[in-house]
Amino acid sequence: MSLPNFEQSLSQLIAIPSISSNLANEDQSNHQVISLLATWFESLGFTIEVTPVPNTRNKFNLLAKLGSGEGGLLLAGHSDTVAFDEIGWNSDPHKVKRKGGRLYGLGTCDMKGFFAFILQACQGLSVNKLTKPLYILATADEETTMAGARFFSQSQDIRPDAAIIGEPTNLKPVIMHKGYMSHKITVTGKSGHSSRPSAGINAIEIMHQVIGKLINLKSKLGLHYQNQAFDVQEPTLNLGVTRGGDSVNRICGQCELDIDIRSLPSMEDEEIIYWLTDALASVVEQYPGRIRIQELEPSSPSFHLEKNSNLAKLAEQLSHQSCCAVNYATEAPFIQKLASQTIVLGPGSIDQAHQPNEFLAEDQINTTLMILTQLINKYCLTQET
């Protein structure tokens, strides 16, 4: 089988829609992307395992393996993209457009493009030359629930020496990121005619008190927790979405607030939940049975790899950039359960991710291929790890 070159493979991946969304009418299967990757890597001699991801809308993980034995290297990424607004795009999001030294398209940097790089780096590899296995992982639903990575970490028993997650970091090694959790706070009041306020209980007014407590909590978290490795050094609490009321002349009977909290690596989920429930305790006591807190999506843990680890040092050497911390979340904490030395390192910038006119800079192509080739040589072609 004749395999495509880098730009051809990138174009074929971008052409297949694979949007992940919490909205059923926008959510799309990644099966075609997984099938295309399976075809390519199988032609290179990899053994292929395609696995349905439970509790998803027809989503799949792919694990490709070349070679045998213990240890080795895992190159990982997600096969889905976020939704897009056509109005903001200057070109078709599902067609790669080259202009001004950039390759535009939905998923070029976040992060279907990483698989195009892996495909090129793997061509010419011979299983007879490998002393340790090379694994390629493509996951599902990273942009929503991270269901693919969660399931993979629970269902697989591979133990590679190192893992690289190719999120867009501008090829800067990321060894630390914040955790993420989201909650819905629902206030149930009692509706009635606005001319008789005493006949009802206004849910918006109660939510006003809830928001005040959350703003105080936000300040307290900043005072109690700091990490100078991050440019936003404190945990964050964001008031994201509010919904309430149905008519201007009715007392609001229900109000909802969606929040997210991004925690530092030193913080545990249980600790954050304690802070949240304690902050709202007085309002809950004042309005018994009217305030409910529920998880919106399963939380994603924070991630941390020691700066003096072998992989961190090697990544700095290959990239000529220092390791850093980022505020967003990735699949790294789930992959790290299988490969203790895990790092986030990939082409493209997070500034382009989730934005109209997402692009990959062409001047990163050769450097990315060089880094991947040297990582494969280090972990799969020699006995040293």
The catalytic residue positions are 80, 142
Dist CA 247 CA 318 (whole Å): 60
Report yes or no: 384 and 132 within 8 Å, Cβ to Cβ: no
Dist CA 385 CA 371 (whole Å): 16
Distances (CA, A) of 180 to 175, 183, 265, 296, 378: 16, 10, 11, 11, 33
Give the angle subtended at the CA of 347 by the CAs of 346 and 351, to the nearest 5°.
105
**DSSP structure class, residue 53:** P
Report yes or no: 232 and 180 within 8 Å, Cβ to Cβ: no
Dist CA 149 CA 158 (whole Å): 14
| Phi, psi (rounded to 5 degrees) for 36 | -65, -45
Dist CA 139 CA 33 (whole Å): 10
Report yes or no: 3 and 119 within 8 Å, Cβ to Cβ: yes
Dist CA 311 CA 351 (whole Å): 25
